[in-house]
């Protein structure tokens, strides 16, 4: 599969670890990545608030460049914010012909909305890519309990992002399972992480992050996986402040490392901590991964194997019972002798 990557501003800043780990996994899983030529800012949350035209034109210009260079090769947007904005421009252009023409007029170049826009998780949902990743997992994270966190932009609004259910997404779980880790069921996978409000109103946003971390730990998770630089930063960076506040209140700290799902894949595929960007995590995450790799391999039994095991156990029980009866039959003879003596 070939993708035209739209890096966006977070790729080399807050999402550096995500880019590094994703490109490591891509190299080893046979995913070719081109870069969108002369891409520009996707508008983040400011663009579309300014005006609808600006909200559509900024991402559309990059998409048009990608289309001119690579035709209908899907555009990959790792950051959830870029993904959401690029999807909006694409869906608006595809939905109505005259809107597409208006966008073309705004950006001053042809744009037929041929190429699709996908997020970081999408490539690994392709069966053959999943196969190659599973084959390349040399150091599986056996039984590592992972809580997959989606945040908002990946799955909402429903009309734009169509790749998973917006209330109960399961796609990241499927990808994390490739590493041998075990995703857990938990309730806050699509709750808000506070996004950029942590800057303007930190006191109001702290409880949001706290509740997510607490919910993950309550569900028995040892680590949280994310697919968006902003969610990752909010959960990872704020842990220290939250734990300080909790200690002041006399509550137990919430120590749980937060990784990009690509970091887990990269590490399981043999990447060193540096290559997988794990050294960049605020909450140190290398020790947990190292420990997970040493755990005993949990082999999942297929139904036939389970049945065979059941029959074998039943036979062993029957044999044991017979042996016990034989022993009991022999015992009275012995008992009688003792009684005589």
Partner 1 sequence: MSRIGVFVCHCGTNIAGTVDVEAVADAARQMPNVAYAGTNKYMCSAQGQDYIVDIIKEHNLDRVVIASCSPRMHERLFRKVLAEKTDLNPYLLEVANIREQCSWVHKDKQIGTPKAINLVAMAVAKADCDTQLFTHEIPVTKRALIIGGGIAGIQAALDIADAGFPVTIVERKTTIGGKMPMLDKTFPTLDCSACISTPKMSECEAHPLIEIKTLSEVEKVEGYIGNFDVTIREKAKYIDYDKCTGCGMCETKCPQKKIPSEFNQGMSTRTAVYKPFPQAVPSKPTIDADHCRMLTEGKCGVCAKVCPTGAIDYQDVDRVTTERYGAIVLATGYELIDWTRLYGEYGGGRYADVISGLQFERLVNASGPTEGHILRPSDGTEPKTMVIVKCVGSRDPHKGVPYCSRACCMYGAKHAHQFMDKVPGGKCFVFYMDVRTPGKNYDEFYMNTLHEGARYIRGRISKITRRSDGKLVCLGEDTLSGNVVEVDADMVVLETAMVPPEGAKKLAQTVNTQLGPEGFFTEAHPKLRPVETNTGGLYLAGTAQGPKDIPDTVAQAGAAAAKVIGLLCKQSIESNPMVAHVDDSKCSGCGACVDICPYSAVTLVEKTLRENSRKVTRTVAQVNEGLCQGCGACTVACRPGASDLLGFNDEGIMREVEAYATR
* Cβ 149 to partner 1 shortest distance, Å: 14
Tokens for 297, please give them: 């391999």
* Cβ 218 to partner 1 shortest distance, Å: 5
* Cβ 187 to partner 1 shortest distance, Å: 2
d(CA 213, CA 219): 10
DSSP one-letter string for 3-58: EEE---TTTTTTTHHHHHHHHHHHHHHT-EEEE-TT-----HHHHHHH-HHHHHHH
Give whichever of 158 and 321 is closer to partner 1, judged by the CB atom. 158
d(CA 288, CA 43): 37
Binding status of residue 145 toward partner 1 by CB under 8 A? no
Please state the φ and ψ torsions of residue 206, each to the nearest 5 degrees: -55, -50
Where does residue 330 rank: exposed (0-12), middle (13-18), buried (19+ CB within 10 A)?
A: exposed
Binding status of residue 192 toward partner 1 by CB under 8 A? no
d(CA 71, CA 68): 6
Q: Reading across the β-sheet that carries 2-5, which strands appear in turn?
A: 32-35, 2-5, 75-77, 117-119
Cα 62 to chain centroid distance, Å, stands at 26
Among 110, 187, 202, 335, the residue binding partner 1 under the rule CB under 8 A is 187
Judge whether 149 and 221 are in contact, CB under 8 Å. no
Binding status of residue 251 toward partner 1 by CB under 8 A? no
Give whichever of 137 and 219 is closer to partner 1, judged by the CB atom. 219
Site string for partner 1, 159-178 (x = CB under 8 A): ------xxxxx---------
Structural element, H or E, at residue 32: strand 32-35
Binding status of residue 185 toward partner 1 by CB under 8 A? yes
Give whichever of 212 and 276 is closer to partner 1, judged by the CB atom. 212
Among 72, 95, 218, 241, the residue binding partner 1 under the rule CB under 8 A is 218
Cα 319 to chain centroid distance, Å, stands at 49
The residue range among 30-38, 78-86, 179-187, 293-301 that interacts with partner 1, by the rule CB under 8 A, is 179-187
First to last CA, the chain: 87
- Nearest one of 78, 7, 85 to 48, comparing CA atoms: 85
Binding status of residue 241 toward partner 1 by CB under 8 A? no
* Cβ 191 to partner 1 shortest distance, Å: 8
What is the number of helices (H) and of strands (E) in the chain? 14, 8
The residue range among 180-188, 237-245, 266-274, 298-306 that interacts with partner 1, by the rule CB under 8 A, is 180-188
Give whichever of 13 and 170 is closer to partner 1, judged by the CB atom. 170
Binding status of residue 157 toward partner 1 by CB under 8 A? no
Site string for partner 1, 74-93 (x = CB under 8 A): --------------------
* Cβ 204 to partner 1 shortest distance, Å: 14
Give whichever of 52 and 215 is closer to partner 1, judged by the CB atom. 215
Give whichever of 157 and 335 is closer to partner 1, judged by the CB atom. 157
Interface residues with partner 1 (CB under 8 A)? 158, 165-169, 185-188, 215, 218-220
């Amino acid at each position: 599969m070939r993708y035209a990557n739209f890096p966006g501003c977070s790729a080399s800043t807050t999402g550096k670890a995500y880019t590094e780990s994703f490109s490591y996994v891509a190299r080893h899983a046979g995913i070719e990545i081109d870069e969108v030529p002369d891409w520009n800012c996707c508008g983040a949350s400011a663009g579309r608030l300014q005006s609808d035209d600006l909200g559509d034109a900024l991402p559309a210009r990059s998409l048009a460049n990608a289309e001119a260079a690579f035709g209908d090769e899907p555009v990959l947007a790792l950051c959830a914010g870029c993904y959401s904005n690029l999807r909006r421009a694409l869906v608006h252009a595809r939905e109505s012909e005259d809107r597409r023409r208006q966008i073309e007029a705004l950006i001053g170049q042809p744009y037929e909305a041929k190429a699709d826009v996908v997020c970081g998780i999408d490539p690994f949902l392709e069966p053959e890519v999943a196969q190659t990743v599973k084959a390349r997992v040399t150091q599986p994270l056996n039984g590592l309990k992972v809580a997959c966190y989606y945040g908002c932009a990946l799955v909402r609004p429903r009309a734009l992002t169509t790749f998973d259910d917006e209330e109960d997404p399961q796609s990241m779980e499927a990808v994390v399972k490739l590493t041998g880790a075990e995703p857990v069921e938990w309730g806050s996978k699509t709750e808000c992480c506070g996004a950029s409000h942590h800057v303007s109103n930190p006191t109001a946003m702290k409880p949001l992050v706290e509740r997510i971390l607490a919910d993950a730990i309550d569900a028995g998770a040892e680590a949280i996986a994310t697919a968006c630089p902003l969610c990752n930063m909010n959960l990872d960076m704020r842990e220290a402040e939250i734990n300080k506040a909790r200690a002041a209140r006399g509550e137990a700290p919430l120590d749980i490392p937060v990784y990009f799902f690509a970091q887990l894949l990269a590490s399981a595929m043999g990447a060193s901590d540096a290559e997988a960007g794990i050294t960049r995590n605020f909450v140190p995450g290398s020790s947990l991964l190292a420990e997970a790799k040493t755990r005993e391999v949990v082999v999942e039994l297929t139904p036939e194997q389970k049945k065979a095991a059941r029959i074998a156990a039943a036979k062993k029980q029957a044999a044991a019972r017979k042996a016990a009866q034989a022993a009991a039959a022999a015992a009275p003879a012995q008992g009688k002798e003792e009684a005589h003596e």
